[in-house]
Amino acid sequence: MSLALFPLNTVLFPGCTLDLQLFEARYLDMIGRCMKKGEGFGVVCLFGGQEVGQVPERYAVIGCEAMIRDFEQQDNGLLGIRVEGGRRFRVRGAQVQRDQLLVADVEWLEEMPERDLEEEDGDLLALLMALAEHPMVASLGMDADVQGQQQLSNRLAYLLPFADTDKIELLELDDPLQRLDAIQLMLDELQGELFQ
């Protein structure tokens, strides 16, 4: 499967919302093609380098499909789009097109079936509810109404202030229970650092 890539300084997760402003011709053309075909593009996290200009040489090999949900012309003249995370993928190889767009051969990763929330997920669900009240999170339309462990783990991994390398590791996990356990460990470490 061939997928256009948009390397960014962020890690997108399935079911999560991301707002982007576009001005580079390669990405404006990519969005136009995606909208005509009803397809998405891939978001991968940059390892150093800039989001604009040169095609990055280093980026994560695990990414998330971005489906365009809305778009509008911004007051500053740029195209603003809102995307929602779709399927996870692994980059098998990539090449730079003549227009400097990075296009990858990707393998879609299997998603485990959604599992109901358990009683022990209560603290993490309460944390998500607190995060959902933050104005920046509220502006993305991401409420705390989650249906299971997959959604809970994806939203927390996306919204919590973990390092990008940690978020990439979380994105790579197939099992939502493992992802929730890893998030709890990272939170415990963060808390430990705060009280040292």
CA atoms within 13 A on the CB side of 25: 5
Give a yes or no: residue 22 inside a domain.
Answer: yes
Same-domain pairing of 97 and 123? no
Cα–Cα dist 53/185, whole Å? 37
The pLDDT tens digits along the chain (196 residues) read 889 999 998 999 999 999 998 888 788 888 888 888 889 999 999 886 554 555 666 788 899 999 999 888 777 777 888 999 999 999 998 888 888 888 999 999 998 889 998 999 999 999 999 999 998 888 888 877 898 999 999 999 999 999 999 999 999 999 999 999 999 999 988 877 665 5
Same-domain pairing of 72 and 36? yes
Same-domain pairing of 162 and 75? no
3-state secondary structure of 18: strand
Cα–Cα dist 85/17, whole Å? 7
Same-domain pairing of 68 and 125? no
Domain range for residue 72?
Answer: 2-108
Same-domain pairing of 9 and 102? yes
| Tokens coding 60 | 């994560």
Of 51, 77, 108, which residue constitutes the final position of a domain?
108
Our count of domains for the chain comes to 2
